[in-house]
Chain A
Amino acid sequence: MLNTVKQLRQKVREINERYSKPHIEMSGAVRLSLLALRVYLLFLVGLMIYKFITLVN
């Protein structure tokens, strides 16, 4: 079991190394889209946290 977890961690490290850099050309439009996506996801996560807090209260 421990061995499997170690192997999995090693595999994840390999994947992170393999895909450490994006291979798509980072033009202005791509950067802007990714920034907008980050803002959008932060907004959604914020909403979910708000919902969770109101549910708990």
Chain B
Amino acid sequence: MNFYSKLYYRLRKLVKAVQLYLVIAGPGLVVMIADNDAGGITTYAATGAKYGYNLIWFLLILIPVAYYVQEMTVRLGAVTKRGHAEAIFDGFGAFWGWFSLVDLMIVDWLTLVTEFVGMTAALNIFGIPPWLTVTGVIALMGIIVMNGRYWTWEKIAMAFCALNLIYIPGAFMVHPQVSDILKDGLVPNLPGGFNGDLFFFLMANIGTTIAPWMLFFQQSSVVDKGLQEKDIPWGKFDTLLGATLTVVVAIFIVVVTGTVLKGVDIDSASQAAERLLHTNHWVGTFMAIGLFDAGLLGAICISLASSWAFGEIFGWAHSLNQNIKQAPWFYASYFLTLITAALVVLIPGAPLVLITLFVQVVAVTLLPAALVFLILLLNDKKHMGDYCNTVSDNVIGGFIVLAIVVLSTLYGISVMFPDFFK
């Protein structure tokens, strides 16, 4: 009897814990899965096609990297109740504040254009014209945000996150050899030796895992959701789960292209989807649906990251819990960013490839700054109190930030000067 009562007690405790997590779950999961945006899917598809399963071990390393960076935004948001933009303005003054805000606006807008490029290319495979995709996406995103409740927005976003898992059945359908994945993928190796091409791919994978908008988005999201200090452990768990899921999805994409398209040069995820359609109709279809979903998730989060940041600084009402009448400027900036980015895709002959490259270069100017500010703010005992970074946090976080800064800078340089590392 004692055994059963203990078991019942533990089961009840577990159910309560899961219920509590489901209430708090959201910001970490959404931001991490949205990190697998259209550009991310292209990077993973190209990595698999170029190197097969050989870089899976490297993707696994990115789980702690993404987690340690993003969990700091959870603590900062929950303790200070301020978004990242406001925290930078307050902590470092107007100069660094404006630098971050304007840079964020440019990076977000350019990234948003790349999301629309991905979405239109994905649906074009099914014969849907770009104008219809763009109109549909804007309408859908309008409906999602204008319900006047953060909770509803978050749950809809999480449903799109679930759709991101479509790559997993896709990978099973191409029947990869598990032994090959384990042998080639889990043992750290540098396929073909360390050279410029490999270095570019490693940097691209890091660049797509940590993006500047993610820091701003998650911190603002934590504030808008109203997470408290007591929720931080669950917020951290949410972030860890999200970081794990995003890398799992990335690995399954690598498995798909590494199995079917190995040795093929892939320029975009839509190209990979089209090629896959010829070999396996359903896998190609899943790849295209996944690409559209990734672009949509990215667009949902990126446009909000900018609107939240502007609202924080300009003092506008800036919560998804407010409707369009209560927060007109918040929604105006949201739609302005969205519609202008969408229109660029519809301009005939628009320099979309140049924009895709430029976004990587501009992101390099913002990411190091945002990461350095993050570490410094987390060491501000006056505001952070007991949630201040510990020595081990600083050692791990500092090392990760330094590595990201160096590698993302080299990535930016390699984008500007393609022959530099050859």
Contact = CB atoms under 8 A, between A and B. Distances in A.
Contact of A21 (B93, B364, B368, B382): B93
Interface string B85-106: 0000111111011000000000
B89 A48 contact: no
Interface residues of B, number: 31
Contacts of B383: 24
A37 B91 contact: no
Interface in B265-286: none
Given A30-B376, A44-B409, A51-B417, A24 B365 contact: no
A57 interface: no
A56 B314 CA distance: 38
A48 B416 contact: yes
Residue from B94, B381, B413 with most neighbouring chain A CB atoms (10 Å): B94
Contacts of B379: 29
Contacts of B314: 11, 15
Interface in B281-316: 313-315
Nearest to B99: A41
Contacts of B93: 19-22
Contact of A15 (B96, B313, B364, B375): B313
A46 B97 CA distance: 22
Given A37-B368, A51-B417, A24 B377 contact: yes
Interface in B346-385: 361, 364-365, 368-369, 372, 375-377, 379-383
Given A16-B94, A44-B409, 11 more contacts: A15-B94, A15-B97, A19-B94, A20-B93, A21-B93, A22-B91, A22-B93, A40-B409, A44-B365, A45-B365, A51-B417
Interface residues of A, number: 22
Contacts of B368: 37, 40
Interface of B: 89-94, 96-97, 313-315, 361, 364-365, 368-369, 372, 375-377, 379-383, 405, 409, 412-413, 416-417
Interface string A1-34: 0000000000100011001111111000110011
B68 to A, nearest CB: 18
B367 to A, nearest CB: 11
Given A19-B94, A20-B93, A44-B365, A51 B376 contact: no
B372 A33 contact: yes
Given A24-B377, A25-B380, A19 B372 contact: no
A43 to B, nearest CB: 9
B94 A41 contact: no
